[in-house]
Amino acid sequence: PGPEGHGDAAVRGGAGRAWGGQRRLSLSLSLSLYAQTLQNIPETQVTTLENGLRVASEESNQPTCTVGVWIEAGSRYEDTKTNGAGFFMEHLAFKGTKKRPGSAFEKEVESLGAHLNGYTSREQTAFYIKAFSKDMPKAVELLSDLVQNCELENSQIEKERGVILQELKEMDSNLTDVTFDYLHATAYQGTALAHTVEGTTENIKKLTRADLASYVDTHFKAPRMVLAAAGGISHRELVDAAKQHFTGTSFAYKEGSVPSLPRCRFTGSEIRARDDALPLAHIALAVEGPGWADPDNVVLNVANAIIGRYDRTFGGGKNQSSRLAALAVEHNLCHSFEPFNTSYSDTGLFGFHFVCDPLSIDDMMFCAQGEWMRLCTSATDSEVTRAKNYLRNAMVAQLDGTTRVCENIGNHLLHYGRRIPLEEWDARISAVDARMVRDVCSKYIYDKCPAVAAVGPIEQLLDYNRIRGGMYWVRL
């Protein structure tokens, strides 16, 4: 090549070095801003009242706040006859109290321009209000009225009974939720975690006012509750409001009357609900995972980030970083898949769920289990680094809005007994390396009996013993 060619190459080389320098500078600034963000997060203040109620808050300069009550109550605390009581109570909670009968409660919330919501899960129930910061004391008073003075008026009970029965019919069409309910039913068969959150149609028809009142009297007590708040509020004002409204002798347990956590044991087994009239198969496979407080959860979340998730609507095609996603695209294995790590107090479900055509079930299961085995035997440093960055991004996203922060506070105090700072989470994530991923995945996955739930046209799903055989590799 002539002199011009060398000159062009020199220019390109210089531009490349300049671009590389800018990229390194940008990365350095990003890491610095990330570290600064973690350090500047306000401290979570926690005060425990004499009756056992924990009051926790994170103060900021937001013009709004979210205040909520998180309660250690859910379907795990129900028996076969009362399953669904907690979900029923969630519906009734917004339908009036002894102080504010009928629609007066909802109208008072709306008069503040506030938003009221709630949910029930297997181990917790929550009610929260998003309002202007100046209305925080009023929000606390409304929440205290809701959890202490729910009216349980007979006409409202019958009205909500019809609403819930209609919801149960609609839920049957959500095959993802149906599959996960079946997964719990087989993994924790014969125990309280096998119950659905919503309860059975038969139970909803039979539950009485006395059943619901007993559920509230047993579980809606101060030692089982966290009053959490986030936004433009003062912790001292929050504590004062809690002392004023969350009171009463009926709000505390008598000595020796605290209900214990029902024990639940994982069982490797399966449930198959074959329906060839459905167009797609929904399949979930899980092994027993750790409880909330187990440090192995961080490593398993890194492993799930390596597996990734996929949906046909995603861009990227076979060039995605997830190996399983690339295989799914290249060989048309499924419509979607997603790993999960569902934790409870003393156990959990670690697995994956996928939706696919009837003739792709065997291939998709083979590839998904193969990815599990690869994590147990040959996870690499580069993919662990990528997964850790993904988790950090998801972690910082928790800072987005007062409602997410408030929910994070309530969940942490119920599950861990304290709010774990993001700096500590970041340190835990940073400590994970490829060897830890291989060791922890081997501990929970390798040669373990899985629980399997399958719904739809699942004729091609292999026998359970064949699926069990995919939980290990014969290495020569």
Q: Which residues are catalytic?
A: 90
Gap between the Cα atoms of 205 and 322, Å rounded: 46
With beta carbons less than 8 A apart as the criterion, state whether 60 and 231 touch: yes
Going from the C-alpha of 302 to that of each of 281, 340, 341, the distances in angstroms are 27, 11, 11
Gap between the Cα atoms of 459 and 420, Å rounded: 46
Residues in the chain: 476
With beta carbons less than 8 A apart as the criterion, state whether 290 and 296 touch: yes
Structure tokens, 200: 């059975």
82 contacts: CB under 8 Å, gap ≥ 6:
203, 207, 211, 214, 215
Going from the C-alpha of 438 to that of each of 280, 300, 303, 378, the distances in angstroms are 33, 10, 9, 7
Rounded to the nearest 5 percent, the helix, strand and coil shares of the chain are 50, 15, 30
With beta carbons less than 8 A apart as the criterion, state whether 70 and 338 touch: no
Return the bridge partners of 46, or none: 56
E-only strand ranges, 36-86: 44-48, 54-59, 64-71
The alpha carbon dihedral of 431, 437, 441, 446 has a sign of: negative
Q: Report the phi/psi class of residue 40: left, alpha or beta, with left for phi > 0 and alpha for psi in -120 to 50.
A: alpha
Beta strand 225-231 with 54-59: parallel, antiparallel or unpaired?
parallel
* Phi, psi for 349 (deg, rounded to 5): -125, 120
With beta carbons less than 8 A apart as the criterion, state whether 227 and 54 touch: yes
